[in-house]
Structure 1
Amino acid sequence: MRLTVVEGDITTQEVDAVVNAANRRMRGGGGVDGAIHAAGGPEVLDDCRRRFPHGLATGAAGWTAAGRMPARWVIHVVGPNWNAGERDRSLLESCYSGALAVADELGARSVAFPLVSAGVYGWPRDDAIAAAVDTLRATPTSVEEARLVAFGATAYDEIREVLSRRPPPG
């Protein structure tokens, strides 16, 4: 799998699936979640209500249609909330590995990821980047490209630096 980084808006990525950093309720919210629901339109929320009537657990992943976005699917993951005391890194890692497993089930070959939990949930960004890079590289998958979408130049530079310091295995 090729792991890349771009700076930009995850909702405009031309990939098979975009990953949403959702909350447990699966009804929209702020940050990436709000942007994905706004860009995807009511179809995303309607599909969330139908497919996840009771929401999703922290660390879990599931999919919906992408509505009006260029992607075909949204893979929703619920990251741990550092600010609320959820500091088990394995939950954060399971968001990435779980998203890849869902992508494989769907047949998605390209997937765009945000930095899960690094926004309003307060996960320290350096560790959020390390968890993303290490987990995406270590997880067996049929996905051909995992694209980390950095929101802003600073995040882009930080992700690019980690990618250069942590070369792919092999």
Structure 2
Amino acid sequence: MLTLPHFTVALALASSIFGVTIPAVPSRRSGELWEGLEHEEVDLRGLAPSRRSGELWEGLEHEEVDLRGLAPSRRSGELWEGLEHEEVDLRGLAPSRRSGELWEGLEHEEVDLRGLASSRRSGELWEGLEHEEVDLRGLASSRRSGELWLGAEHEAVDASSTLALI
């Protein structure tokens, strides 16, 4: 009679000989329900993003990382669309996004590491009470605002005119 390890080896050999493959699926580990309080999904083949969560995937904490670098990495201490998230494109094909609060809400930062677009940083609403836009290439004016960008207080600084004064 075959033991379980011997059966597993025999099955793998038979599968490779006859061209039959055992379907490879992401590994899933859960302390509770997959959609519940704790889960982990990791595709070791690198064909799908890895997902790790201490709580609900769509809930309070999750992490999604594409090790192939074909999609932005996403990490969240809370809701992805909620209070805290980070999105980073390691390929440099899209701006990196980091947020302590709502991406469209109270605080966000958008940085284009390629230098093809202006960097944007905000302590509050991007279109709201406080933001800063800085073009590190010096091809556009730097903009800083303590209040509404189009509102009560703002400062526009053109780096080229500043350099011309020096």
TM-score category, normalised to shorter length: under 0.3
TM-score by length of 1: 0.27
Larger strand percent:
2
Higher relative contact order (CA 8 A, sep 6+): 1
Larger helix percent:
1
TM-score by length of 2: 0.27
